[in-house]
A and B are shown apart, each in its own frame.
Chain A
Amino acid sequence: MEIARHWRLKQQRYGLVGEVCPHCDYKIFPPRDVCPNCGDEAKTQYAFSGKGEVFSFTTIYEAPTGYDANAPYTVAIVKLDEGPMVTAQLTDLGDQPIEIGMPVEMVTRKMRNDGDERGIIVYGYKFRPFGFVPQR
């Protein structure tokens, strides 16, 4: 059981909330309070748009414990529009092929149970194909 950790990370997991450096405007995810670009303190919260593109991906058939109920699933490195790279599952693919450079958007989904079905449900970000429908 890792309740405290799940609780501590909820904002970044549910809403892709990171930080922006007040000195050089560098966007930071996950939040680390120190700007990796200029080295200054960076504690200003910043909610990412959730838009990005697939930088690389792979499909997992032998999933680690806790994720096996969802296998096979695809994990991607997503380059966010604001700059940072995040590793996350892709979802809602249906029979859609994945391509490097494919635009994706963040959705909040069920990741796994903490422990078994008696534990809390852990929610977090995944990405799905963006623009699945033409805008009106």
Chain B
Amino acid sequence: MTTPNPQNSSTLLRPNKPVGIVGYGAYVPRYRLPAREVARIWTGGKGGLPIKEKAVPGLDEDVITMSIEAARNAMARAQIDPVELRAVWVGSESHPYAVKPTSTLVAEAIGAVPNTQAADWEFACKAGTEALVAAMGLVGSGMAHYAMAVGMDTAQGKPGDALEYTAGAGGAAYIVGPAEESLAIINASYSYVTDTPDFWRREYQKYPEHGMRFTGEPAYFKHITEAATALMQAAGTSPADYKWCVLHQPNTKFPQRVAAQLGFSPEQIAPGLLVPVIGNTYAGAAMIGLTGVLDIAQPGDRILMVSFGSGAGSDAFDILVTDKLPERRGRATTTQAYIARRTEIDYATYVRFRGKLQMK
């Protein structure tokens, strides 16, 4: 495996026309399962907990309904006509159908049909940022004025597995458009992928499998570090140039550790580190971390976002907040407001909500 040449700026993904985020929207479902509830059932309440609690979708929610709400929030902030969208792309590993797009239904619900691209993306936890990179390309090439990229998940965790503590639900939607209309400009992105089998789910299987400790060093840490480092070197920046840093967050410890290794302070990652209170939202994780930051960022703030998807890869983004953000963010519900809307449930209710009971 070769390390990318950081001096070669052609490894950066930079559109011909400058692009940015014209609208964004988060969504987190109302219900919370405390990690101690999972421990109570499976370990007698013993052992450390990777997070405080995770968000759980209600009985009538799935990636389609959650994407619709995040998309509506993004539309409210962007204040554009939905018929101007030329793409509605949804990244997830919990698409409700095996065959039938999530994206057409989301596009229909927000009034973007029929003159639009629609597609479902899949790349474990980075399906959302993958769609975001593609949206940069579509808009940056001049093919489209606006494109929407959503990262949303209702993540699956095998009962009793380490991932059951963290597999959460939530995500975010972004509308990419011309830089001059943007609340945050995306200067460039950089992607780093290799074939690394750290986590997977085979067809017809209900729950994913993972490589235990293998999900750490060769997968999460390697890809996040390479992507972040290469982007910063190509952009000529260092951690001190960024006010905020958002990282994929499968648990509390991983992003804290890799942030420290890269040279980011706990303060820089704090507003985008939502995993302790909503869990790992998979394809939504980095995307909703960024909405948490945009909810409080000021014009001129620079943001580094790095996603990670098992299998494996990372997308890194260099983002600059413009003076359009403060006015637009008040037009829709904030990320923290969704997090504050909270009803705690026990393990039995969780089992029912997540369809883990065999009814017939």
Contact = CB atoms under 8 A, between A and B. Distances in A.
Interface of A: 10-11, 14-15, 47, 69-70, 89, 91-92, 94-95, 107-111, 120-121, 123, 126, 132-136
Contacts of B329: 136
A104 B318 CA distance: 39
B65 interface: yes
17 contacts: A11-B108, A14-B109, A69-B359, A70-B60, A92-B58, A94-B343, A95-B343, A107-B69, A108-B68, A110-B59, A110-B62, A121-B62, A123-B64, A123-B65, A123-B105, A126-B60, A135-B330
Nearest to A106: B72
Given A14-B109, A70-B59, A123-B105, A133 B340 contact: yes
Interface in B90-140: 96-97, 100, 105, 108-111
Interface string B16-31: 0000000000000011
A108 B63 CA distance: 12
Residue among A108, A120, A135 with most chain B CB within 10 A: A108
A47 B359 CA distance: 39
A77 to B, nearest CB: 19
A45 B21 CA distance: 30
A109 B30 contact: no
B96 A121 contact: yes
Given A132-B341, A133-B337, A110 B111 contact: no
Given A92-B30, A133-B340, A109 B334 contact: no
A110 B30 contact: no
Contact of B60 (A10, A109, A135, A136): A109
Those 3 A-B pairs whose CB atoms lie nearest each other, nearest first: A94-B343, A133-B337, A14-B109
Interface of B: 30-31, 58-62, 64-65, 68-69, 96-97, 100, 105, 108-111, 329-330, 333-334, 337-338, 340-341, 343, 359
Contacts of B338: 133
Contacts of B111: 15, 47
B57 to A, nearest CB: 10
A132 B342 CA distance: 10
B111 to A, nearest CB: 6
Residue among A111, A121, A134 with most chain B CB within 10 A: A121
A134 to B, nearest CB: 8
Contacts of B96: 121
Nearest to A10: B108
B16 to A, nearest CB: 35
Given A133-B341, A135-B330, 19 more contacts: A11-B108, A14-B105, A15-B109, A15-B111, A89-B60, A92-B30, A92-B58, A94-B31, A108-B65, A110-B62, A110-B65, A121-B64, A123-B64, A123-B105, A132-B337, A132-B341, A133-B333, A133-B340, A134-B337
